[in-house]
Amino acid sequence: MVDAPAKLAVEGLAIRYGDSVVLSHVDLEVREHEIFGIIGPANAGKTSFLKAINRMDEFNADMHVDGAIRFDGRDVRQWRNIYALRSRIGVVFPLPVGLPLSVYDNVALAPRLSGVRDKAELDATVERCLTRAALWDEVKDRLDSLGSLLSGGQQQRLTIARALSQDPELLMLDEFSIAVDPVTTMRIEDVLKELRSHITIILVTNLVQQARRLADRTAFFLGGECVEIGDTEDLFTGEVKDPRTRDYVEGKFG
């Protein structure tokens, strides 16, 4: 993993909303096929970091992004087709957002929009993505039912399946376990461990033990600053450069 190339490189990233700075001077690399954790308390700038990668600031006139974000060596701002960029960078937010479609159509939507019309190919994609999201066995007999009728945990896994239907190279998850029960959380964690061999994952979480279970390396964000980045186990065993990191992972604040 140490020798793996950088899938994402961030240099001098600064984000503000109007006059309010939420992140400043962030420099980091996310390596190919790793799970990169980002921990930190609320309002540390974690979600804004993900939004900048996927150019979601373009939906918010108040959000301003400076610095370089390179995906596979190419600055994300240089992509003329923003939808092509987002097809390679999937994102799953804290609360599942089910489209008002059937389970099948939720997953088949992105392939259809990219031009896939063959029913057999769509069927294979839906089954593959639902299987990878650990949902297939639970929904295979009700693919025509509305996705919004699934339980919260199932809807979150459906959201992951929908993100995977675009065959992303980078998958970003922002507090995916907020709306799901502990058993479902562990199932999704198992899914992420398996996905690591196929894609690169950025995992934003307020649950420090979740980062410890999953992440190869972890960054600690605090007050708009990337305080520290290191091998995850080092951050949890006292090998830290900044005492604030130790205090946070030990639960002294957060």
Average pLDDT for residues 136-164, to the nearest whole number? 92
Q: For residue 181, what pLDDT is reported?
A: 83
Q: For residue 105, what pLDDT is reported?
A: 96
pLDDT, tens digit, for every residue of 180-200? 788 888 988 998 998 888 899
pLDDT of residue 1 exceeding 70, the answer is: no
Q: For residue 114, what pLDDT is reported?
A: 86
| 1 located within any domain | no
Q: For residue 209, what pLDDT is reported?
A: 94
202 contact partners, CB below 8 Å, separation of at least 6: 8, 30, 35, 36, 38, 50, 53, 170, 171, 172, 173
Q: For residue 153, what pLDDT is reported?
A: 85
Q: Is 210 helix (H, G, I), strand (E, B) or coil?
A: helix
* Spatial contact of 208 and 249, defined as CB atoms under 8 Å apart: yes
Average pLDDT for residues 203-222, to the nearest whole number? 95
pLDDT, tens digit, for every residue of 106-129? 999 999 988 999 999 999 999 999
Q: For residue 25, what pLDDT is reported?
A: 93
- Angle, alpha carbons 212-214-218 (nearest 5°): 60
Amino acid at 247: D
Q: Is 58 helix (H, G, I), strand (E, B) or coil?
A: helix
| 193 located within any domain | yes
pLDDT, tens digit, for every residue of 9-36? 999 999 999 999 999 999 999 999 999 9
- Return d(Cα 138, Cα 116) in angstroms, integer: 25
| 254 located within any domain | no
Lowest mean pLDDT among 58-72, 128-142, 240-254: 240-254
Q: Is 244 helix (H, G, I), strand (E, B) or coil?
A: helix
DSSP structural state of residue 102: B
| 104 located within any domain | yes
162: buried, middle or exposed (CB in 10 Å: 19+, 13-18, 0-12)? buried
pLDDT of residue 145 exceeding 60, the answer is: yes
What angle do the packed helices 152-164 and 103-113 form, to 10 degrees? 20
Q: Which domain holds residue 221?
A: 6-249
252: buried, middle or exposed (CB in 10 Å: 19+, 13-18, 0-12)? exposed
* Spatial contact of 96 and 173, defined as CB atoms under 8 Å apart: no
Average pLDDT for residues 34-53, to the nearest whole number? 95
Average pLDDT for residues 151-177, to the nearest whole number? 91
Q: Higher model confidence: residue 14 or residue 177? A: 14
Extended strands (E) in 32-188? 35-39, 63-71, 74-75, 89-92, 170-174
Q: For residue 94, what pLDDT is reported?
A: 80
| 201 located within any domain | yes
The CATH number of whichever domain residue 136 belongs to comes to 3.40.50.300
| 81 located within any domain | yes
| 116 located within any domain | yes
Q: Give the number of domains in the chain.
A: 1
- Return d(Cα 87, Cα 113) in angstroms, integer: 11
Q: Higher model confidence: residue 132 or residue 141? A: 141
Q: How far is CA 81 from CA 39, 55, 99, 113, 139, in A?
A: 31, 11, 23, 14, 34
Q: Higher model confidence: residue 2 or residue 20? A: 20
pTM for this prediction: 0.91
Q: Confidence band (pLDDT; 50, 70, 90) for 2?
A: low
Average pLDDT for residues 161-176, to the nearest whole number? 93
- Return d(Cα 8, Cα 21) in angstroms, integer: 23
